[in-house]
Amino acid sequence: MWDEWKHIFLTVADRHAPPITKKVRSEYAPWITSEIKNMMHRRDFLKRKAVKTGSKQFHDAFTKARNELNKLIKRTKTDYFTNTLNNCENNPKQMWKTINKLTNKNSKTTIITEVKHESQSATDVSSITNIFNTYFNEIGMNLASNMEQSTRSPETYLSSCNSQFQIQNATVIEVHKILSSINVSKSTGHDGISNKLLKDSADIVSYSLSLIFNTSINTGIFPNDFKTAIISPIHKAGCKTECNNYRPISILSSVAKIFEKLITQQLETYLETNGLLVQQQAGFRKKHCTQTSLLSITNQWFIDMDKGNLNGVIFLDLKKAFDCVDHSILLRKLYNYGIRGKSFQWFQSYLSDRVQMCKVNQTLSNKRIVKCGVPQGSNLGPLLFLLYINDLPNCLSSSAASMFADDTNISTHGSSAAEIQEQLNHDLDNIHQWLLANKPTLNKEKTEYMVIGSRQRLSKVLNEPEIHVGETTIKR
């Protein structure tokens, strides 16, 4: 059903809206007005005349036009920056997005000429793409394989749930609403269906897409064509020939993301209505943000300081947390949270047989099956990750967790550094056992701790707490 719909849609699109090649400026310069363009043309004309004739009159005219143009550009650019930044001063996310756009720091596809990984080295683009694809595909499995076996099952930490979740059929109105609000600047997936075309044709395709989505819901089968991801490696820092200095950017089918958004909305409502997400989690949730998480934890620190106590805080760093999600464990947790029947089958299908390809220098790698991790770039992925680590606070006995997605810290308080040391080491061992049972890996080198208190109380701390994970000492 989906394959036939895709064929018809692309055929019509190719006939009535064929792709065209368009030359665009290499730099983003929205402050260039028609007045500036006209002055640029006049400046260039006068320069050509001055060079060709050698006339002092033309040279002076060119110099004057150039200086006036530079002043106008500077003034116009300043006004544009000021107005643009003022318009988003109350929105930090939009502020940084605007700054990156204005300074041309947006992510661009990295040109890669050579890559090394383990004993492999490659310079031809085909080998480079396959090395990257293998590296990104096996990150989670390699980390899990290096962990010692746990004596506990993940269910040990789960709380019982008496409610049940069933995916409801999507209405045409719901599909149309999402289609109409699509961000047309997002990249096109492997199927070649762009957000722009979907948004422009929302009135026409909403009904047929709702039939496809509802067929998937009722049969418990997520279409295989929706499971393909195109991965682009983007350089972070360091040597450009090392795979671990790149981060993967995943591009999924636009239609698949629309479908996922419908499911995500229903699952979010179910989880929030039944209070299944722990209060300590502030990531990827409505009416929650980094500020709410920070205010909550700092408020508790101040309360403890007012009582004359010290606070001990450990900041946990998890390696590739989203890539380490074990599908089998995740499905068992979904079942525990009340996802049963056809809905459970749908999530099984959603996670199984997912495929990824890596794209480097416009060349695609071979396909590889994704065996662990939540789909990056998807709408459902973040919510599934929250459910995966939702029971982490249940392993704590002497401290409290504060979480923003995978960024987690645990805090405790006590009258002395020795008391804090005992409590933090005890709960850090509990977290270690939870990690072994659930497969995420703790980055011991980047995990650190702090002691927080009033200046007077800190001055009386003679011996710093010694915090350990196994044989590794945690840095302060």
Q: Please give the class, per CATH, of domain 278-323+382-475.
A: alpha beta
**Distance set, CA 472 to CA 264, 315, 466 (Å):** 40, 15, 10
Q: What is the mean pLDDT of residues 134-157?
A: 91
Looking at the chain, the whole-number percentage of residues with pLDDT higher than 70 is 97
What does the pLDDT read at residue 470?
82
Q: Which of 108-117, 166-175, 176-185 has the lowest mean pLDDT?
A: 108-117
pLDDT class of 26 with cuts at 50, 70, 90: low
**Residue 388, token pair as written in the block:** 């995966």
**Please, which residues bridge with residue 401 across strands?**
410
DSSP class per residue in 294-354: HHHHHHHHHHHHHTT-EEEEEEE-EETGGGG-BHHHHHHHHHHTTB-HHHHHHHHHHHTTE
Range of lowest pLDDT (67-71, 78-82, 345-349): 78-82
- pLDDT category of residue 95 using cuts at 50, 70 and 90: confident
Residues sharing a CB contact under 8 Å with residue 196, sequence separation 6 or more, in sequence order: 184
* pLDDT value at residue 197: 93
Q: Which helix (H) or strand (E) segment is 146 a member of?
A: none
Q: Which residues pair with 151 in a beta bridge?
A: none
Domain residues of the chain, as ranges? 27-103, 116-146+164-275+327-371, 278-323+382-475
pLDDT higher than threshold 80 for residue 108: no
Rounded to 5 degrees, φ, ψ at 375 are -60, 120
Farthest-apart Cα atoms in the chain, separation: 90
Burial class (CB in 10 A: 0-12, 13-18, 19+), 291: exposed
Q: Residue range 12-37: average pLDDT?
A: 81
For residue 104, what pLDDT is reported? 66
pLDDT at 84 over 90: no
User: How many whole angstroms from its chain centre is CA 140?
Assistant: 16
Q: Provide the residue type at 196 as one letter.
A: K
Tokens of 364: 């695609």
What is residue 237's predicted lDDT score, i.e. its pLDDT? 85
Predicted confidence at residue 97, as pLDDT, reads 79
Percent of the chain whose pLDDT exceeds 90: 77
CA distance linking residue 395 with residue 389, whole number of Å: 11
**pLDDT, average across residues 436-450:** 94
Question: Please, what is the average pLDDT of the chain?
Answer: 92
What is the mean predicted confidence (pLDDT) over 200-208? Answer: 96
Question: Residues 131, 132, 137, 143: is their CA dihedral positive or negative?
Answer: positive
Amino acid identity at 322: F
- Between residues 421 and 23, the one the model is more confident about: 421
d(CA 185, CA 446): 35
pLDDT of 366-421, one tens digit each?
999 999 999 999 999 999 999 999 999 999 999 999 999 999 999 999 999 999 99
- Give me the pLDDT at residue 369, please: 96
Average pLDDT over residues 277-303: 92
CA distances from 237 to 29, 79, 115 (A): 27, 34, 14
User: Looking at residue 220, what is its pLDDT?
Assistant: 97
Q: For residue 110, what pLDDT is reported?
A: 64
Task: Judge whether residue 106 has pLDDT over 60.
Answer: no
Buried b (16+ CB within 10 A) or exposed e, 363-393: ebbeebebebbbbbbbbbbbbbbbbbbbbbb
For residue range 232-288, list pLDDT tens digits in order: 999 888 888 899 899 999 999 999 999 999 999 999 999 999 999 999 999 999 989
pLDDT band at 25 (very low <50, low <70, confident <90, very high): low
Among 25-29, 51-55, 452-456, which stretch is predicted with the lowest mean pLDDT? 25-29
Give dist(CA 30, CA 467) in Å, integer: 53
Cβ atoms of 197 and 13 closer than 8 Å: yes
Q: What is the pLDDT of residue 28?
A: 67
Which residues, 6 or more positions from 288, have their beta carbon under 8 angstroms from its beta carbon? 281, 282
**pLDDT over 80 (residue 100):** no
Rounded to an integer, the average pLDDT of 339-365 is 95
Tell me which of 70 and 107 has the higher pLDDT. Answer: 70
- Quick check: 309 pLDDT over 80? yes
